[in-house]
Structure 1
Amino acid sequence: MSKLTTGINREQGEQLEKGISGKEALSVDEPKGNFQRIGIASTFDCSETVDTVKFWADILGVRVEVCVDEQNRVFQQLLDSKGVIKADNSLNVLMIRFEDWVHDYEQDSEGSLDEIILDNVENLITNLIDKKDKSASPYLLIICPCDPKGKVNIELERTMTDLIRSDLQLYDHVMVADRFDVDEFYPVRHFVDRNSDPLKPFLYKSDYSVALGSMIMRKMRAVYRRPYKLIVLDCDQTLWKGKCSESGPNGLQLTRSRLALQEFMLDLKERGLGLCLCSKNAKNDVMEVFSVRKDMPLKVSDFVSNRINWDPKSNNIKSISDELNIELESIIFLDDNPVECAEVRANCPEVLTIQLPESDDQISNLLKHIWAFDFVKTSMKLDDPETHSDSVLDEGFPSESDNGSSLVDFILSLQLEISIKQLRIKDLVKVAQLTHRASQFNFTGIKREAHQIQDALNSGLMSALTCHVKDKMGDYGLMGFALFGEDDERLLVDSFVINWRVMGRGVEHRLLQEIGKIALEKGLSEVMIYFKTTPQNQPARDFIESVAGEYRKTDENGFIYTLPSDFTANIRFRPTELESELHSGKDETRSTDVAGLRHIRIYNYIGNELNSVKKIRMEIDKWNAPEKDSEEPEAEFEELMTDLQSYVYSVWSTVLGMEEIGLDDNFFELGGTSLKSYQIITEIKKHFEVDFQSTLMDEFPTIRIFSNILETKLLKENSGSEEVDKGFRDMPSETDTDREVIFI
């Protein structure tokens, strides 16, 4: 028997210039217009992978022409000028499985199985090296996994893969990826479709085809996109868990995800990206962390610049941009604080701003799926493909032209609820802890113990207010505290403390406003506030100066602000003025093409929503679903709904952004997320003034079942006792000892 091989040497390739092995050349439609071209030559059926590539092209909003040969003719395609592999402006993808080269191998075949695969591998390497000077297009070689129960064992697969990597590592026109590279981003445990025809080369399961297609598009994006040059990093709650000003260096937590984040940044630094620090902190506090915590992967020397102060972070980023002569479009900013992220997005829309998730477990996965961090070693860059505005992401997303007001929009969208109460005995310990931890927003820097506060209240000379905050993201609990007394004419503020987590959202304004109202009720004409500067409380100083700077007088130990009571009672948080102040220092010579910034939200969308094979496959299924005939009659489910079901449907429809929802459609299969679930629960609780667990949607994810549970809850509420009726919302009533003020 003749030796089995699909390899073709260069001499044999001359006859292929006019066609494939004497046969008619594969017809390939040339792309029209400014398209990005992807040529795929595969040793196996890759139709589902191609489908995934087209899905991603739609998500990215780029026009891509995909040309495919999946007939195990990789070598022929490499040599045929009329085939799918092109020399100019094309990403050429080769997907090979060593097993496909020996599918028909029998024991009595000439040559061993290992020799046949080695011969093909050497041919492949030779042909790819030969393309170095003949092609201006990059090549992506994906070595796909063989069937664990097939003819090629894992040891042979690894040996051949290592040989390919070793021989091609010096040639930057070829990118090599194997099963481990794919698994790093899109792990699929069982990838072989055992239901495929055993007489034919095996098929991959849909999940693995999705993984391969996603890998191809990530590489394509990395090849042609404009590279980022600088990463600007927040410190507290980003590089480490905790606040350095409150916990000190040794009190900070270096969780597994924070260590992984730092190591990830070190890896990017090794690849050529610059790192900077941008933190609202006292610089000495941050530097002390780097000095004391030797267990941190990142060192001060790893950063090319830093801005550790109390200025708006957008201003600091612009300053870094000017200092290093790096355009804003080449900067990535990482922060955990949603308000800080919104501020930077509003005032530096060119910067890719990434908000870290609250959950430690989600940080590594987010970073792994921010495509902007992808790096490829190739000197061959493709022309940018033409983008189009009808991406599947565009519907329902705000326009980039709205970026200018996004800070205001974000703060208003939080649906902030602030309740001001007289201090309760059960909150004494929490208040004492707040005075110890909230060093950035403490008017005097005084730290008090619970018994000291209680003694002050028991004296009858002092009163105290607490501030409780929640928004659509969750309930933050006790976030503010004020301790005050009075003389004949004035209300005297002794302590004023706000937790750093809610600074800049109007909480401080509301607490001070309430103090002014109390002063008026008591017939006191003025509110006197004592302020002592500390190394950490610059944010508190900035606030009091912004609302009462004209009433400041210098004291030997600090400052005294004496405000008219009616003025204090009318203090308001005006985010539009905050944004105007931030924009006042804007460099008008900078020009921003906001229409070209849609890739920024795409990166964030992918990192947060399309960060697993399961999520991607669900979106592909929706993308592939046939469009319903617009002439079809309206769905009958509306006629079958009860009034309660109709209301629940309207809330779902608004949040999900879709109209046709059946009574038994699963919320999460329709694209629902935990955040959208929380929005629905919040709206329904507010509408009916009832309370129930925020996880109710997880247990009852259809309109029919959810409405039944809600109806039972409402019937119980309406027929329950007066005690149940009063306590159902779990909201404090307004009494002489418990003042409730809600600001939304």
Structure 2
Amino acid sequence: MAEPVPGGGAAGDDALRMLVVSSFTATPVRTALEFWGRRLGVDVELAWGAYGQVFQELQLVRSGRCPEVVAVLVRWEDFLPAGDDEAAGVVAEELGAAVDAAARRAPDSAFLVVSCPPSPPALADPARSRSLTVAEEVLLRRCPRAENVTHVGRDEVLDRYRVSRVDDGLTDELGHIPYTPEFFAALGTTLVRRWYLGRVVEPKVLVVDGDGTLWDGVLGEDGVSGVEVGPARREVHRFLVEQRRAGRLLCLCSKNDRRDVERAFTTVPGMVLRRDDFVRVRADWSPKSVTVAELAADLGLGLDTVVFVDDSRVECAEVRARHPEVRTVGLPPEAEGALRTLRHCWPLDIGRPTAEGSRRTEWYRQDDRRRELRDRSATSLADFLDRLGLEVTIRPPGPADLPRMLELTRRTTQFTLSGRRWGAAELTACPTGGRVVDVRDRFGGYGTVGLMLFSTEGTVLSVTGFLLSCRALGRGVEHRMLAHLGEVALARGLDEVRLSFADTPRNLPARRFLSEVAVPHPDTGCSGYVLGASAAAHVRFDPDGAPPTGAPLAPPGPKPAPEARPPVGLPWFWDDPGDMPPGLTTADGIREALGAELWADTVPADTVPDDERAVVRIWTEILQLPPDGIDGNFRALGGGSLEFVQLVARVYDEFGVELPVDPLLDDPPTVADLLSMIRRPDTAGAVLSDEEGVPWIE
């Protein structure tokens, strides 16, 4: 097994560390991985599993020796040489079990299992093609058992990046490199996007425009009967529906008459989105920056969790100028371009869904009914809470709670004592030192909204995690959580409860709560708050006597800087349609971009012949560095047998010349050698036969 990059490598928190395990030669994917690393401003550290030993490599995976991402790249025909449905199911089950076991041994690593496309000969054989489909379907059902495993189907790579050329029979024959540089560019981009998804602050609400975004036409000018939703706009609607199902809230912000907007949902043909898909609809002529801020405040969410989507460059510029922390996505005017932009806005990618996420919109609707109850009938907050019938259940977590616990650490930014994210290993390692909190009332369940992590240290109950979803704040749930911790401390014969705390740009509500119920730890070197175990057990919420959780501690000062983001470039947002290079949404374009990036500093002089320029470009793209002059040696600059296979294929693809493989393996070529052979094709020889193999192996 190639020594994996450990999870805590020297490159720091912004490094992409990945182990690639594959059933075929996958090293060409390195080019795309490193290209995106440069675009995102992160180091890329790669380790490669032994050639073709997928099961063996997975068996060697262990926590502490495993990087944060394990990419398992599978071409099913490499396991299934003949068409046998029963064997296909067995192999897929065994692979799923091997991935699942490895994922459980390394719970803080993300396992990406990619089913790669079969070859044309395999697809041409009906029995074999069917067995390959069976294998992929069985794996798809089997893989998601471990929470840190994601299955990536072939369509996610092929369709999203419109891969025009997938298979390369020549490199497959010579070195078991079955795919083209275009496919590897799309595959590498897909892997980076999946890694990226786990590293960013997840959007919680999408504020979308109406005219030119949800429908074609201007409602105020064309009327309800004059706007339309064509096939591509319906795909935009379906994209937004998937966002809602993933737990993101939808808000409509349109400069139109509200009555017209409401009528559009019921009368415009082709509408996929319904009024109930939106938690808020704002239709007026206020500046959209004002509306965005009001919507975020109304929902109790930070502006840095908002994505604003509009086709107007003016509206996008106005929102961006007033609220730089909002992720602003400018759409092109045509529906196809709008859909492409949304599909390639990386922060809007969807991870593994949870049950809580699918119900989030309904929870906010329930909260609206709670507000109505308070406004209509309650004379005080205590009276309102009494009528609400709040039920709080605090319990030890079970295995089924892990997805929601991970989601809480990722999504909770306001009421959290530290703002840190816990990994699956940390959450599962202390089942007796953790509690989850479920809440419901007369209007329905809130789901699991709270999490506490604690341990015993001498005579102290040390609390390292204390999180509560913002939708449950201000109702005394946090007080019941602290009281429960006090009861635990008393039951264990402990003297005090100590709560670790670290300021973040957004956790002021948590600090305010601690300042009300506890005191800063007397040791100035200890960051946190402390109170006696008995005092903690007797904490109670006084709804009409205590300041509300949202009340400021001091007069407001300057607007705080937005929460720091990772050093990323293009994928966060595009200022306007013209700023998004369309090429980076297709496999061909990505390949051209990564080649151009390397090529920019090595372009020969204009006087250099075209064929020499082409050879230098091919050489540079394969080795990721330019030749050392026309006499630079391919092997001396890092070219091994696999890179040579790519060189042979690229020369054949661009010049139609078959290089004499055996002599060049014995005596690796220079640029001058290659040019001589290209210019005198009569000296070229046949490619290797199946029996010959590739003798030059590093």
TM-score of the superposed pair, with normalisation by structure 2: 0.53
Q: 1:47 to 1:612 in 2, by over 3 A?
A: same
Counterpart position of 1:149: 121
Q: Does 1:328 align with 2:303?
A: yes
Q: 1:267 to 1:44 in 2, by over 3 A?
A: same
- Of the three residues 79, 97, 100, the one matched with 1:129 is 100
Q: Does 1:621 align with 2:592?
A: no
Provide Cα deviations, 1:182-233, integer angstroms capped at 9, x if missing partner: 2221232441112236365352111111111111111111122221110001
Counterpart position of 2:49: 69
Q: 1:594 to 1:196 in 2, by over 3 A?
A: closer
TM-fit CA distance, 1:318: 0.8
Q: Does 1:94 align with 2:68?
A: no
Q: 1:139 to 1:252 in 2, by over 3 A?
A: same
Q: 1:42 to 1:601 in 2, by over 3 A?
A: closer
Which residue identity is paired with 2:586?
A: S
Please say if residues 222 and 374 of structure 1, whose CA atoms lie closer than 8 Å, have aligned partners that are also in contact: yes
Which residue identity is paired with 2:29?
A: T
Counterparts of 1:297-696 in structure 2, within 5 Å, are 297-377=272-352, 379=403, 588-593=558-563, 598-599=568-569, 602-604=572-574, 608-625=582-599, 627-628=601-602
Please say if residues 5 and 19 of structure 2, whose CA atoms lie closer than 8 Å, have aligned partners that are also in contact: no
TM-fit CA distance, 1:88: 5.4
TM-score of the superposed pair, with normalisation by structure 1: 0.50
Which residue identity is paired with 1:125?
A: G
Q: 1:41 to 1:86 in 2, by over 3 A?
A: farther
TM-fit CA distance, 1:596: 5.5
Please say if residues 141 and 176 of structure 1, whose CA atoms lie closer than 8 Å, have aligned partners that are also in contact: yes
Give the secondary structure class of the aligned counterpart of 2:213.
Answer: coil
Q: 1 CA distance for matches of 2:187 and 2:77?
A: 17
Please say if residues 316 and 330 of structure 2, whose CA atoms lie closer than 8 Å, have aligned partners that are also in contact: yes
Q: 1 CA distance for matches of 2:93 and 2:198?
A: 26
Give the secondary structure class of the aligned counterpart of 2:325.
Answer: coil
Identity %: 25
Q: 2 CA distance for matches of 1:331 and 1:43?
A: 41
Give the secondary structure class of the aligned counterpart of 2:79.
Answer: helix
- Of the three residues 225, 230, 235, the one matched with 2:205 is 230
Counterpart position of 1:53: 33
Counterpart position of 1:212: 187
Runs of 5+ unmatched residues, structure 2:
354-402, 411-555, 609-698
Please say if residues 328 and 350 of structure 1, whose CA atoms lie closer than 8 Å, have aligned partners that are also in contact: yes
Paired residues, number:
400
TM-fit CA distance, 1:635: 7.6
Q: 1 CA distance for matches of 2:567 and 2:318?
A: 16
Q: 2 CA distance for matches of 1:626 and 1:339?
A: 34
Please say if residues 100 and 201 of structure 1, whose CA atoms lie closer than 8 Å, have aligned partners that are also in contact: no
TM-fit CA distance, 1:170: 3.8
Q: 2 CA distance for matches of 1:606 and 1:78?
A: 39
Which residue identity is paired with 1:358?
A: P
TM-fit CA distance, 1:120: 3.1
TM-fit CA distance, 1:115: 5.7
- Of the three residues 224, 234, 243, the one matched with 1:259 is 234
Give the secondary structure class of the aligned counterpart of 1:297.
Answer: coil
Counterpart position of 1:527: none
Please say if residues 332 and 351 of structure 1, whose CA atoms lie closer than 8 Å, have aligned partners that are also in contact: yes
Max radius of gyration: which structure? Answer: 1
Q: 1:129 to 1:191 in 2, by over 3 A?
A: same
Q: 1 CA distance for matches of 2:64 and 2:72?
A: 12
Q: 2 CA distance for matches of 1:587 and 1:243?
A: 41
Q: 1 CA distance for matches of 2:239 and 2:580?
A: 19
Counterparts of 1:232-311 in structure 2, within 5 Å, are 232-293=207-268, 295-311=270-286
